[in-house]
Structure 1
């Protein structure tokens, strides 16, 4: 290897550590994402909105431990290992309980502990020199990036998943079968909604394009959903999907069959103007969805429930308000044209194993999921405690209503056992200390969520797009082969960017109109 190449490698490792992806992600979680989760959590209201709980800033203190005599002392990782303690930070949140018309001052309330990643910003070891690390009983060569829970070192492994909020086109069976589907996993604030649009030969219904999304049993015709979203005229539905005549004929057939499925009353439609007819069709489409999601309920409730499901569970990453329905309809129309192009062999389906279509979720992302669920549990418990105090006529106190064990135990239990939210197991593992190289390897591990009992030949294969990102050599033998991987030595995971910043840059280039 040339001298200049060695210099490049040295420069890379001067800037980045082998576990930088975990530490940077965890720092972002602590410094930004915890506050964001608290800010978007629905406010607590009690006794028909007579009382409301207001939250403010979150404060995170460096690790300390309470001794038997009540005194507090700083705790370092070496002591946590020896005494089988948790190396965790203490979280305080500004809160105020207000009655109607009141505006009480915010007070800092202790809400629980957060397991702390070694060498992160709020770790005692961050910024210490080699001599200071040795004095604290730490190995200067230890890069951190793991947690200490009950005295055990636990590593959170990187999880591989299909890219969210991106349309993935798949072909079902052979080309001659003319069956395909477009899938998008829409994620907003931790909620994952899988939307699947499928093209298949019609059975009894005679509909080619059918769509499924959460909280709607089975599949519904795409045309009915587009009507419910605001595409009321036949022309609007057809032209929004494609300008290709062959595709338009498929949609026209679907429109004809879908109108039969709506069971429209000819008597009610007689004498209606064009605008009134369109409004009638949109209402009929919403009723059709309402009959699926709230069968047997009153008509008013069915319509309200259908609108709530469309707003909250159909492509939530686009938005969850009424004014986003047209944008969702346009998105689905684009998705439909892409699917029809696959059917007619004008577009190739996506390769799910291509690394463009994958995302790696590191410590900060996984801790964010965990904290969101734990904080929701805490707010529910607080609501229960405060309502119980009101029913017993006691004086309300926020500090007494907050049981810090709820948050602490939820997070600690997940890291200690590896059983994460969403039913995933093995997310956190006992850190491999067989050798120094074994430890580094463990901290750079990437795990696929696919089941080990199935062959998944293509997923296990080494894909050309993994070059420079995934080590081609280091993977276990047996059922985990190709599903448990390791990052290449000079691979560095980017953290993503704020979408609003990107929009501002695009607007400044006059690509989008204001």
Structure 2
């Protein structure tokens, strides 16, 4: 457990995003600019040379009221509703001829949002106030709002997938060029028809299907070369099937059939051979070698045929070896690449038209606008682009501290919520210890929104050339003959780097793999570079970005691990002084491995599981879990749905969000007042600082039916517990006002309006006469003015004051903030604070996902009590425990009793931490503490004083108060506004609307025979309408006439109907359908 705690202290939950963003700033910006300048501008302008050099990203700054520049802090950016961004400066040089040279030095190229906590964040420097360990990092601030880039899951490029469906195999591979981002989707279809192998190929770019014989012929592949790359089947039947296919190919070559041409699209009549030679596999480079292309095609054929005959299992799209994760730096790089490419094209066009450099930059440089647009809307694309990825940028949910932490570990698979494919949403075994299988939302996005496990990291892109040179030095040192991939012969092994063939080995691959792993341990190769055997004759080396990777203990270095762990070393309290994990990584005890490498390895869960075949061991079994599921005590004793439910409930718990309430500036935030540290907790919670950012209270919970008010998931709570401050919460709201003038107003002034022009119903007595802002500590009532403000149009003054409008609430002014915006306007924020005391209907839950609502608040005297006078704070219905099978809550209570009796304030019960039997150990501790082995006690009825015959289990249990508060949701009305068309009441609490009677409510009332209530609520209290009907013809009669205009009779009846029924009659009449009503006269 010490290793896992050290890891969580040295590699925070934000590390994936922080390191990715830092790499983008240091290398990604420069690489994109250099690549796109070369590919777009210089390629289209032979006589024009552009150069962008000296790229510098500055830390966020702002100009204050004294016109001085100072460094901007994240708190100030949130308070002032501005973006936390830094300026990107570049030197631009353009040369159209020998003498015509234009140059701009230190040009402010764009504004780049800076990630809080990154190397460019001002909180990392000692010149500004330092931040606490509990302060969140890894997010951005856009116009004062905290936004986070959610990691996106995608399929891996350049990896062939063999998919088996209805007896046929489809081999797919998306080939993507890392330099130009050009991609091509290659498809090969294999099936057996009439005892013969049928193979076709869908040529990318032209989307035309050709026979496999034609593709092999266009690549000039001979029979010997074919057999050098394709494995002969072992069984006779399949060997004959493949040999028959080869004989057919031989006849095709002898016939000398012409190459096919394109028959559709913009490339009609162009030979497909040109497409095959130039655009089939963009990932092989700009100038594709024939040998590399042959290896790629025959490798797809070999995989597909072996899958077809059952010699190889089919691939899965959901296997995490076939997926990549795009984190913040990768997402920003792709967005900047799209935007800069468009900017480069505009430069290429304008430079040909001899437009000056200054005009080009001022006209087309909209990079800042594009990035701000994507961050603000969440649509990850260039402006007016057809390709859009929605929901990449999201508002950072600060409902609770754990909710914000969970955002940093979130991974989204971009699929439609209405997707019916269950495989996409299901748990895949390859995600063990990489993805937390418990933490996923309920409902439409289940399985599509996931979270990383505790120790999961994402690889960063490494330099392809550097890794290739290292591999060549490695092979040369072995003395093994290294040949070009195109010269491969039977029995040789191909080495691929990022699925691109680089050379072939004549000898056995075992020596290569052994030396590579040794070099990686000695840090001669980057620790995140992975290697594995991909089939029988291919060694795959991967150094691309987006691969999930996690730390493991190398079994071969167990003695070094023991020596290091036996040393005397300082342990972590709050400061990050523990370097245990970094030391283990430096010594080669801890190694990083990806999904591909671990698929065929034996990994021990604990030391007792180690066998001769074991190569790695987990640093701790709790690494299987994520942020939310790891803080549940005895989580391994609960069923999986309970852990999933708590992963969602725990994020809704009211908690402590900041070290100080002064940092609060969100629109609405809830804070727990008297939070406590759980008695039974896990080491992961303390490593995540959840013992400082508390989110609940230790309540004495009795499990018993009482008064009938704690049934159906309800609880009874003691009034004395509430009076002592248990579960108290503050609700903080921020109300803003500024002096921005509207079109018809000449000026808006913040101050106390002249008394003559004040609105008569508003109360201005709480305003400071000098500032026009409400005083701190003022108890607010409805129509109390918060910020005095008035507009002047000529000699006319209009009161524009901002007042408190909520009825029946009496909050207190907590703080006021005055500042200037970047445009020079004055702005005032008033933060009000309201104490929320628990009341009937408020929601609570335990860490075992026992969600309950308060059914009754009972006075101290009426609560049941023990012989020692102990009364419970909560009473839970006993049916809740066996129905939900939450053994962890019973164990938590039992161990809490024993701990408190022994004077222990905290008990560590991390998941899978030891081999003890929790039930037996709980019994032993209870007996040692003087209780029965069941933990029950004798209690007495609080109302009668009589002894309750059944022993009752009462123990401390940690409970959360959820954000679903009655005070925020309850509403009612007698009369109010109605809709103009239907004459029915408005809907919604904010509109002072009425309650809606739905189909289920109507059915329930009908089943109970409450027809009069239905008439009252659905007619009398809604859209009651009276009209006159002719008893003879059934048509509507003008109420101003005495007789029917159609049948000229005076036999009319006045009826009462809903007004929407009259609208229905008019709509039917517009369609040519006449509606007649013949009322039945009751005797």
TM-score by length of 2: 0.40
Name the SS of the counterpart of 2:304 in structure 1.
helix
Give 1:512 deviation, angstroms: 6.3
Whether 2:135 is the aligned partner of 1:160: answer no
Which segments of 5 or more consecutive residues in structure 2 lack a partner in the other structure? 234-238, 382-386, 484-1083
Give 1:472 deviation, angstroms: 2.5
Give 1:73 deviation, angstroms: 4.1
Give 1:113 deviation, angstroms: 1.4
Name the SS of the counterpart of 1:93 in structure 2.
strand
Question: Counterpart in 1 of 2:519?
Answer: none
User: 1:219-253 CA deviation, whole Å, 9 max, x = no partner?
Assistant: 2223323333343x455456544555532422443
The question of whether the paired residues in 1 share the 8 Å contact of 2:397 and 2:403 is answered with: yes
CA 1:496–1:437 in 2, change beyond 3 Å: closer, same or farther? same
The question of whether the paired residues in 1 share the 8 Å contact of 2:223 and 2:246 is answered with: no
Whether 2:205 is the aligned partner of 1:210: answer no
User: 1:38-82 CA deviation, whole Å, 9 max, x = no partner?
Assistant: 111125259963333233342212222457997644322222212
CA 1:15–1:121 in 2, change beyond 3 Å: closer, same or farther? same
CA 1:331–1:341 in 2, change beyond 3 Å: closer, same or farther? same
Give 1:114 deviation, angstroms: 1.4
The question of whether the paired residues in 2 share the 8 Å contact of 1:469 and 1:488 is answered with: yes
Whether 2:418 is the aligned partner of 1:420: answer no
The question of whether the paired residues in 2 share the 8 Å contact of 1:353 and 1:459 is answered with: yes
Which sits farther off after the overlay, 412-421 or 97-106?
Answer: 97-106
Following the alignment from structure 2 to structure 1, what is the Cα–Cα distance between the partners of residues 29 and 273?
32
Name the SS of the counterpart of 1:18 in structure 2.
coil
The question of whether the paired residues in 2 share the 8 Å contact of 1:161 and 1:448 is answered with: yes
CA 1:227–1:90 in 2, change beyond 3 Å: closer, same or farther? farther
CA 1:397–1:451 in 2, change beyond 3 Å: closer, same or farther? closer
Name the SS of the counterpart of 2:482 in structure 1.
coil
Following the alignment from structure 1 to structure 2, what is the Cα–Cα distance between the partners of residues 223 and 413?
50
Question: Counterpart in 2 of 1:408?
Answer: 368
Whether 2:184 is the aligned partner of 1:193: answer yes
User: 1:397-420 CA deviation, whole Å, 9 max, x = no partner?
Assistant: 357535475111111111211112
The question of whether the paired residues in 2 share the 8 Å contact of 1:198 and 1:209 is answered with: yes
The question of whether the paired residues in 2 share the 8 Å contact of 1:46 and 1:52 is answered with: no
User: 1:151-174 CA deviation, whole Å, 9 max, x = no partner?
Assistant: 21111111122222222211012x
Name the SS of the counterpart of 2:403 in structure 1.
helix
Larger radius of gyration: 2
Name the SS of the counterpart of 1:317 in structure 2.
helix
Question: Counterpart in 2 of 1:38?
Answer: 33
Give 1:292 deviation, angstroms: 5.0
Alignment of 1:163-178 (within 5 A): 163-173=156-166, 177=167
Alignment of 1:90-109 (within 5 A): 90-101=87-98, 104=101, 107-108=104-105, 109=107
Greater relative contact order (Cα < 8 A, sep 6+): 1
User: 1:427-476 CA deviation, whole Å, 9 max, x = no partner?
Assistant: 11111110111000011101112332123222322223222222222111
Which sits farther off after the overlay, 78-87 or 45-54?
Answer: 45-54
Question: Counterpart in 2 of 1:223?
Answer: 213
Give 1:88 deviation, angstroms: 1.4
Whether 2:72 is the aligned partner of 1:75: answer yes
CA 1:239–1:490 in 2, change beyond 3 Å: closer, same or farther? closer
The question of whether the paired residues in 1 share the 8 Å contact of 2:150 and 2:327 is answered with: yes
Question: Counterpart in 2 of 1:133?
Answer: 130
The question of whether the paired residues in 1 share the 8 Å contact of 2:40 and 2:348 is answered with: no
User: 1:240-292 CA deviation, whole Å, 9 max, x = no partner?
Assistant: 445555324224435657998x9x4xxxxxxxxxxxxxxxxxxx43xx24555
Which sits farther off after the overlay, 8-17 or 234-243?
Answer: 234-243
Question: Counterpart in 2 of 1:281?
Answer: none
Give 1:26 deviation, angstroms: 0.8
Question: Counterpart in 1 of 2:18?
Answer: 23
Alignment of 1:15-414 (within 5 A): 15-41=10-36, 42=39, 44-45=41-42, 49-65=46-62, 72-101=69-98, 104=101, 107-108=104-105, 109-128=107-126, 132-133=129-130, 140-173=133-166, 177=167, 179-189=168-178, 190-200=181-191, 208-231=198-221, 233=222, 236-237=225-226, 240-243=229-232, 245-246=239-240, 247-253=242-248, 256=251, 264=257, 284-285=258-259, 288-292=260-264, 294-296=266-268, 302-303=270-271, 307=274, 309-310=275-276, 313-322=279-288, 324-388=289-353, 390=354, 396-398=356-358, 400-403=360-363, 405-414=365-374
CA 1:237–1:14 in 2, change beyond 3 Å: closer, same or farther? same
Richer in strand (by share): 2
Following the alignment from structure 2 to structure 1, what is the Cα–Cα distance between the partners of residues 65 and 155?
49
Give 1:495 deviation, angstroms: 2.9
After superposition, the CA RMSD in angstroms is 3.2
Following the alignment from structure 2 to structure 1, what is the Cα–Cα distance between the partners of residues 482 and 102?
43
Following the alignment from structure 2 to structure 1, what is the Cα–Cα distance between the partners of residues 265 and 253?
18
The question of whether the paired residues in 2 share the 8 Å contact of 1:224 and 1:258 is answered with: no
Question: Counterpart in 1 of 2:482?
Answer: 513
Following the alignment from structure 1 to structure 2, what is the Cα–Cα distance between the partners of residues 470 and 46?
44
Name the SS of the counterpart of 1:505 in structure 2.
helix
Question: Counterpart in 1 of 2:932?
Answer: none
The question of whether the paired residues in 2 share the 8 Å contact of 1:207 and 1:258 is answered with: no
Give 1:338 deviation, angstroms: 1.1
CA 1:48–1:365 in 2, change beyond 3 Å: closer, same or farther? closer
Following the alignment from structure 1 to structure 2, what is the Cα–Cα distance between the partners of residues 100 and 310?
39
Alignment of 1:452-467 (within 5 A): 452-467=417-432
Name the SS of the counterpart of 1:454 in structure 2.
coil
Which segments of 5 or more consecutive residues in structure 1 lack a partner in the other structure? 265-283
Name the SS of the counterpart of 2:30 in structure 1.
helix
Which sits farther off after the overlay, 438-447 or 405-414?
Answer: 405-414
Following the alignment from structure 1 to structure 2, what is the Cα–Cα distance between the partners of residues 489 and 164?
26
Following the alignment from structure 2 to structure 1, what is the Cα–Cα distance between the partners of residues 6 and 481?
39
Which sits farther off after the overlay, 423-432 or 83-92?
Answer: 83-92
Question: Counterpart in 1 of 2:396?
Answer: 431
Give 1:86 deviation, angstroms: 1.6
Question: Counterpart in 1 of 2:3?
Answer: 8
Question: Counterpart in 2 of 1:267?
Answer: none
Following the alignment from structure 2 to structure 1, what is the Cα–Cα distance between the partners of residues 44 and 413?
46
Question: Counterpart in 2 of 1:468?
Answer: 433
Following the alignment from structure 1 to structure 2, what is the Cα–Cα distance between the partners of residues 56 and 140?
37
Following the alignment from structure 2 to structure 1, what is the Cα–Cα distance between the partners of residues 44 and 297?
42
Name the SS of the counterpart of 1:53 in structure 2.
strand
Question: Counterpart in 2 of 1:272?
Answer: none
User: 1:77-130 CA deviation, whole Å, 9 max, x = no partner?
Assistant: 22221222221121122321113345958643322111111111111122459x
The question of whether the paired residues in 1 share the 8 Å contact of 2:206 and 2:267 is answered with: no
